[in-house]
Amino acid sequence: LGAASRHRAAEEVRADFQRRVPYSYLQRAYIQLNKLEEAANAAHTFFMANPEHMEIQQDIENYKTTAGKVSLTDHEAKQHMEDYSAGVRHYDKEEYELAIEFLERALKGYYSEDEDCQIMCEGPQRFEEYEYLDYKAGLYEAVADHYMQVLACKHDCVRELATRSGRISPIENFLPLHYDYLQFAYYRVGDYVKALECAKSYLLFHPNDEDVLENAGYYEGLLEDTMDSDTIKPRKEAKMLLQRHKLESHLLQVAAAGLGYAYTEPNYWNRYGARQDEHSVPSSISSEPEDGPRLSLTKKPMPKPDRELKEGGPLLYSDVKFVYNSQQLNGSQRVLLDNVISEEQCRELHRVASGIMLAGDGYRGKTSPHTPNERFEGATVLKALKYGYEGRVPLKSARLFYDISEKARRIVESYFMLNSTLYFSYTHLVCRTALSGQQERRNDLSHPIHADNCLLDPEANECWKEPPAYTFRDYSALLYMNADFEGGEFIFTEMDAKTVTASIKPKCGRMISFSSGGENPHGVKAVTKGQRCAVALWFTLDPLYRELERIQADEVIAMLDQEHLGPSEMNINPKDEL
């Protein structure tokens, strides 16, 4: 009722604060004041919500170099998230008492934040389908509609509290996971009552979880001589939250039917979010006799991919040499091949590259997009053909770039035994050149650790498949052209972006290919001398995301093959900007 408040922030301002944009400005301001530690903390705070922002990532590395050892602080950290992450880290190290301390603190913080979230939903609401003041319903409908908007906001607090700053997707199964970790941690420290209590709390959310049902039965067996296990109940706060959540869902569905709008209940407790501890926790307790109760604590199954993952298909070309498969490269969906192209083809490609590459190509003209210590240059297939057509480079050499990228595509499609066509998503001839006078005491990377179709979040041990990541990419490949440089090794890591699982030294004709998801974080070590060149290839199984320039290049090649005509006879304009 009454005039709209003058003190409500505009949508653009609210979005900027959610993305922590003010901290980007703060960082620059602190630099001008020569306050490097404050600048580093501001940069880190911004980066935690924008992990794809490579310039900020490089700034942080520079602060570490210039300011010495800095303790980075996230000024906007959600304390219950920080405590949860700390608890999981201690759990992974089998420091169970510390894990319990942090996870219990995280639960207390979670329920406190949930209360705050509920309160913050009380107030004016923004309607998605119409402006509130223009809404022409009667008074009772307007009141009911407003109340349901408030209720929907409260119902979504579960998602809000499970979502890290700057992310869209929540940590799956976030609240139940606290109890899952705790039930086993309490078992390890010998507190079977608390272990059973937490197991029963987890089962409120997933009553048919076979692993935890088996664990609960085991804990009951340990307690049967000392107390009645039926007196041990699930935690009251978990039970109350779940009851409230179910009632909210019921009210929303009834209201949707009565008021005539669509409502679909999200899956807030996705069971595929699970403890990632298959390496540190045995599937049974070795101290128990063979015929005694067993704990089934292996990692819960992840969602089945939309296609069956295979590898080991034919390489199609007799000269291509197999080097390593996924197992030998300590990962999944990885392959290393040699002799994909010959020494002569490498030299010819290098000559083409020197004639067509542009500094900062693909990065809006930024000549050093990943590190200030190297110059980045690149070119696309269509640009190569255009230059060949204009006579600025030999047309045969430009055609080679097109042909070898197609050869690489066919090999990847065949080796990974894909049942549908693999399309080009992006093709880029790239070179990284070490800048003289800037190579001493380098501790940065030529290309920071990342994944190709999701936003890598090392702190959360997650990879968020959401924009601005290229979520449609399915496979990647890098075909190397030379070895006469220092550094520049390609590396795979764990999702922590620190633990290296495989390192590959580039050389002419060598190709590394892998699936593009969070299972394959990768990067490039610093190029400290010389120039490192490669053909970078990204592929998709979705024809909607085919590379436009590739389609146009296909048309040019088809005309050349069909007509064998010179530039003046072909019905295309080489100066067209695409």
C-alpha span between 367 and 50 (Å, rounded) = 22
Regarding whether 232 and 86 lie in a shared domain, the answer is yes
Q: Which residues of the chain have pLDDT under 70?
A: 1-6, 52, 54, 67-70, 125-137, 166-168, 261, 270-307, 362, 364-365, 563-578
Domain match, 160 and 90 both? yes
Domain annotation covers residue 408: yes
- Residues 172 and 202 placed together within one structural domain of the fold: yes
Residue 578 lies in a domain: no
Q: In terms of domains, do 363 and 475 share one?
A: yes
Q: 236, 259, 282: which is the final residue of a domain?
A: 259
- Do 184 and 154 share a domain, yes or no? yes
The answer to whether residues 220 and 345 belong to one domain is no
CA distance 330 to 197: 39
Tokens, residue 39: 């600048």
Rounded to 5°, angle at Cα 179 from 88 and 465: 60
Instruction: Look up 364 and say whether it is catalytic.
Output: no
Same domain, 558 and 465: yes
Closest of 474, 424, 431 to residue 452, by C-alpha = 474
pLDDT value at position 166?
Answer: 65
Q: Which residues pair with 287 in a beta bridge?
A: none
- Same domain for 104 and 39: no
pLDDT at 11: 77
Domain count, the chain: 3
The domain boundary, picked from 56, 76, 96, lies at 76
Name the active-site residue from 409, 442, 510, 532: 532
Same domain (yes/no): 68, 142 = no
Q: Are 335 and 325 in contact (CB under 8 A)?
A: yes
Alpha-carbon distance of 177 to 302, in angstroms, equals: 15
The verdict on residue 52 lying in a domain is: yes
For the chain, give percent helix, strand, coil, nearest 5.
45, 15, 45
Q: What is the pLDDT of residue 68?
A: 64
Angle between helices 381-390 and 343-356 (to 10 degrees): 80
Q: Which of 425, 439, 460 is nearest to 163 (CA)?
A: 460
Residues linked to residue 525 through DSSP beta bridges, in sequence order:
445
Residues 6+ apart with CB under 8 A from 130: none
Containing domain of residue 160, as a range? 80-259
Residue 147 domain-assigned?
A: yes
Residue 193: per-residue pLDDT: 94
> Would you call 243 exposed, middle or buried from its count of C-beta atoms within 10 A (0-12, 13-18, 19+)?
exposed
Q: Is residue 289 part of a domain?
A: no
Q: Residue 277: inside a domain, yes or no?
A: no
Shortest CA distance to 87 belongs to which of 176, 180, 164, 181? Answer: 181
- Pick from 43, 76, 109: which residue ends a domain? 76
Structure tokens given for 314: 């034919």
Residues 357 and 379 in one domain: yes
Q: Is 279 a domain residue? A: no
The reply to whether 305 falls in a domain is no
| pLDDT score of 180 | 93
CATH at residue 407: 2.60.120.620
How buried is residue 132: exposed, middle or buried, by Cβ count under 10 Å (0-12/13-18/19+)? middle
The pLDDT of residue 289: 33
- Per DSSP, the residues of 243-277 read HHHHHHHHHHHHHHHHHT-------SS-TT-----
pTM for this prediction? 0.59
For residue 93, report the phi and psi dihedrals to the nearest 5 degrees: -85, 5
- Domain match, 69 and 84 both: no
- Same-domain pairing of 169 and 71: no
From the CA atom positions of the chain, what is the Rg in Å?
28
